[in-house]
Structures are given as structure tokens and as C-alpha cells.
């Protein structure tokens, strides 16, 4: 995997700008909070990760409430950079936090999709040495956390 330095704040701003039409159509309010930092990443894979997470938030919005999507740039207790993406959409059943990352596993058949978006997110994280987790109570939205662990060595894949 060939990586390069990526300024996360600028990268997130650019990705959100690219999704402008979809964000406007959903009536979403996207906001980024927290400190900015630079990570080592493969930009096209990172874009797939962020785009899939944001598009999921837009697609799985709750029909009767506004859609704030918050991207928090934080640090894990160990000090590694971390992204937390929170929405107030339809969420998913609490026991499905691992199943949603399986390929072709679609929990909500009413929402258009192929079922590979979150599996792609998990694979992008695996290739970078990162972790991704998801949480939901099934009613008040979803929270996705990506721990961007520091890569010690860069190898070709």
C-alpha cells in the first residue's frame, strides 16, 4: 500500500464538497469538529471510506427529522487520530454492529444499495492498519468510529 501525507481537515472538506448535491438533496447539515492533523494514507482508498460513511448517513436518514451529520476529529485514549461520524438517521439493530460490515448484507431493504459499502470501509481500514466500529440503538441514528492507528512500515500490496 503506497501512502502519502494527507491533511484530514482539507480532505474532509473536499470530500463533503464533492458530495454537495447529495448533501443538499437530503437536507443534511454536515459539520466537522476537533483538531486537524495529517495522517499517512492512500488518498483514493481514504476517499472511498469517507464517501461510503457519509453516503450511508444520507441514505439512512430518518424521514421525520432533520439530518445533522457530525464528523469529530479526535484522538483515541492511546493518542492515535480518530474520526467519529454520528448521524440521527434510522440506525441499525444493536446486535448487528458486526453484520453490517459483511459483504452484500443489507439490513434495510427499503434503502437502495448493493450491500458492499460498509464491507469496503472495513477493507480500507484493514489495508491501512486502522479499525472501524459501529454502534446504534436502532432508533436514534448510528455512530461510526475509525481509529487511524499510526502505520510503522509502508509496504507494497
Proportion of the chain above pLDDT 90, given as a percent: 54
pTM equals 0.87
Give how far Cα 31 sits from Cα of 8, 34, 52, 134, Å.
14, 10, 17, 19
Dump strand ranges (E) for the chain: 4-7, 28-34, 38-41, 67-75, 81-86, 131-136, 142-147
Residue 157 confidence (pLDDT): 37
Give the β-pairing of 28-34 and 4-7: unpaired
Proportion of the chain above pLDDT 70, given as a percent: 87
Give the β-pairing of 28-34 and 67-75: parallel
pLDDT by residue (tens digit) across 80-127? 899 999 998 888 888 888 888 887 565 555 656 556 789 999 999 999
The answer, yes or no, to whether residue 73 has pLDDT greater than 70, is yes
Residue 155 confidence (pLDDT): 34
**Dihedral sign of CA atoms 117, 96, 88, 32 in order:** negative
Position 77 confidence tier, pLDDT thresholds 50, 70, 90: confident
Q: φ, ψ for residue 20 (rounded to 5)?
A: -45, -50
Amino acid at each position: 500500500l503506497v501512502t502519502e501525507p494527507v491533511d484530514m481537515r482539507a480532505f474532509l472538506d473536499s470530500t463533503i464538497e464533492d458530495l454537495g448535491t447529495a448533501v443538499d438533496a437530503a437536507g443534511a447539515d454536515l459539520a466537522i469538529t476537533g483538531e486537524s492533523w495529517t495522517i499517512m494514507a492512500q488518498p483514493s482508498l481514504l476517499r472511498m471510506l469517507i464517501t461510503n460513511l457519509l453516503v450511508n448517513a444520507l441514505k439512512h436518514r430518518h424521514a421525520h427529522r432533520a439530518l445533522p451529520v457530525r464528523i469529530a476529529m479526535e484522538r483515541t485514549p492511546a493518542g492515535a487520530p480518530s474520526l467519529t461520524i454520528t448521524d440521527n438517521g434510522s440506525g441499525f439493530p444493536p446486535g448487528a454492529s458486526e453484520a453490517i460490515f459483511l459483504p452484500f448484507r443489507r439490513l434495510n431493504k427499503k434503502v437502495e444499495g448493493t450491500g458492499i459499502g460498509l464491507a469496503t470501509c472495513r477493507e480500507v481500514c484493514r489495508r491501512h492498519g486502522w479499525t472501524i466500529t459501529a454502534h446504534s440503538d436502532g432508533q436514534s441514528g448510528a455512530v461510526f468510529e475509525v481509529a487511524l492507528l499510526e502505520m510503522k512500515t509502508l509496504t507494497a500490496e
